[in-house]
Structure 1
């Protein structure tokens, strides 16, 4: 296996995050002992809820699983037969999830797939370039089971209603409001903004691969019922539970400040002197406390276009992954947060080799 350099972000294709010694030790402890799993899930859920400032919480094996279990619970509620026969009865129950078109994203898998796994159907509202809260309200019918809001850089950012505006629509129409905030910081900032919220345990929290579903009752209880049914395919091991709790205990203590991020990126600012290349610090478009270094590549003056550079970096002796969502527009970004000791030297040497005179 080749080492890869991650200058892209907390990306699933690269293993998301590196684990601290504290998290690894906690996972080792969990893996070496036996526990009554039902009690471990319940007690850990209470602890996670404390960190999220919510009424309750549960750990899942991914943020995607948390979306599926949340919606499955909203469809079946306390109907035990429906829980056991979810896909046989879902179409006979409230099972439409309203989702803005600009939020119907593929984050490595289509979010629509996670909704469908719960037995629900997506009802799109709005347009590719925007939406209004009134369009969401107009789409609500007796079949509506939830409104899903995706808080992510993957989504359309302009001309979109805020979380607060969508929440008000849900409150006025008594519709459960689910927020997918998988990669967001500030996990304690969503309790008053929605009924249910989803986080990744391995992105901003920097724990093992897992997810969190947190929020209000009775919605959490509805979701928990599915652990022994559709959730069986999404179960979480005891070592993961202990690893996540350790990560939550340390959450926020090792966060890289904007100043430190800039200091790390300053080591790569010399790319500005390469032919056809200019650089600029860019803040995260969705408002997260992240700054990145953007490399603008002029294909008429540089040795490679941005797309060619991305491919050359990935296929080199040490694969280097950049944030390449806009490479077709002529620029790529370097994210400082996942860089390990020595990574900036590898990036600098490789790009200088590829683009230098």
Structure 2
């Protein structure tokens, strides 16, 4: 029994990934202790924010950093910062930004839904979203033609949710931003490399603290000192509604300090997924294989292709029955509409792949018995 079962909730096996809907990450005991210790004491929040910025800067190679409630809050705050700066009257008017330089240029294939609309997060910061090109094709000229005297920033999304083909590269977007002397904001919420995008020349980079970093529900922005100062200033405006508490900041900083010493488990996770595929290879109607993460990260998932005519149930039906069990098994279902289910090994606790195999076999057997 776990803490959530004490409140009457069913146990979850998370084979979906570090997803907000399932609580993102299970933190290391050292991070959990930091959260607990911080919650039982007091601190000057402004001083804590400044200290956090220095640690974030050290870890990322940026000039400064700003903790946030999450990556989504980081988007709104970053956009607000490039529009209002540290001008208090402007800060207090946001998200109403009429009369200000407020246009945010984004490739159409990056105007994604990540559990919420990314364009809505930009709008919360006062940004007027300018989508350029087509959903699967953007040319450099599309971006350049969209830039005018009202352009506040270019926004780039590095995510498996974003269209991966036909978009302009981050290198191209950065070069355009430099040419026109406007900031470029990179949403790298779930990315694992905390130094790459700053080194490439991005002005502001947004990360989730609860995904690759395996911290608590939190996030941070890193980048140019003047823009980070403006990010912190937004806590006197729209940032107040998405403020991050002392516990989350300390938990985030503890996770960041641990991050560089994390063991690379990608090959071990791949081995576990190969084992899973081997165990179900004799089930008619399910074809297993190993696939790498869509965004190119060193993540290897088990992909199950469901032939509904042979198996006797669709991918959606198998998903439903996995989720209805106790423990409930949540898989990665972005391609369920074409009969594909993915199993992400990263959040699985030891031995849980065995429980997944066992439950799939039970469901298949139940389906077979009912068809006789």
TM bucket normalised to smaller = over 0.9
Choose from 51, 58, 73 the match for 1:65: 73
Question: Secondary structure of 2:216's partner?
Answer: coil
1:48 corresponds to 2:84: no
Q: Name the counterpart of 2:4.
A: none
CA drift at 1:252: 4.1
User: Which runs of 5 or more structure 2 residues have no equivalent in the other structure?
Assistant: 1-8
Does the aligned pair in 1 maintain the 2:274–2:290 contact within 8 Å?
no
Please tell me whether residue 276 in structure 1 is matched to residue 285 in structure 2. Answer: yes
Question: Aligned residue for 2:138?
Answer: 131
Q: Does 1:28 align with 2:36?
A: yes
- Asked whether the 8 Å contact 2:68–2:218 carries over to 1, the reply is yes
Contact 1:303 1:354 in 2 (8 A): no
In the TM superposition, residue 256 of structure 1 has moved relative to its aligned partner by 4.2
2:127 alignment partner in structure 1: 120
Greater mean alpha carbon deviation, residues 18-27 or residues 128-137: 128-137
User: Counterpart of 2:305?
Assistant: 296
Question: Which residue is 1:18 aligned to?
Answer: 26
4+ residue runs over 6 A deviation: none
Of 253, 271, 290, which residue of structure 2 is paired with 1:263?
Answer: 271
The alignment partner of 2:213 has SS state of: coil
Pairing partner for 2:261 from 246, 253, 264: 253
Which residue does the alignment assign to 1:236?
A: 244
Deviation at 1:141, TM superposition (A): 1.1
Give the Cα–Cα distance (whole angstroms) in 2 for the partners of residues 263 and 331 of structure 1.
Answer: 20
1:255 CA displacement: 4.2
Aligned to 1:85: 93
Assess if the C-alpha contact under 8 Å between 2:65 and 2:223 holds in 1: yes
Q: Is the 8 A contact 2:109 2:162 kept in 1?
A: yes
Contact 1:275 1:302 in 2 (8 A): yes
1:183 is aligned, of 181, 190, 196, to: 190
Question: Would you say 1:350 and 2:368 are equivalent positions?
Answer: no
TM-superposed CA distance for 1:258, in Å, is: 2.7
- In structure 1, the partner of 2:152 is 145
Say how many residue pairs are matched. 356
What is the distance in 1 between the residues matched to 2:78 and 2:358? Answer: 46
Q: Match for 2:177 among 170, 179, 198?
A: 170
User: 2 CA distance for matches of 1:338 and 1:227?
Assistant: 33
How far is 1:311 from its partner? Answer: 1.4
Query: Gaps spanning 5+ residues in structure 1: where?
Result: none
Q: Give me the whole-angstrom Cα distance separating, in 1, the residues matched to 2:306 and 2:208.
A: 33
Distance 1:304 1:253, change over 3 A: farther
TM value normalised by structure 2: 0.93
Measured in 1, the distance between the counterparts of 2:247 and 2:143 equals 41
Which of 341, 351, 355 is matched with 2:350 structurally?
341
Deviations 1:174-195 (A, max 9, x none): 1110000000001111112210
Root mean square deviation, CA, Å: 1.2
Counterpart contact for 2:109–2:163, Cα < 8 Å: yes
- Give the distance between the partners of 1:238 and 1:279, measured in 2 at CA: 45
TM-score, with length taken from structure 1: 0.97
Aligned equivalent of 1:96: 103
**3-state secondary structure, aligned to 1:153:** coil
Partner of 2:6: none
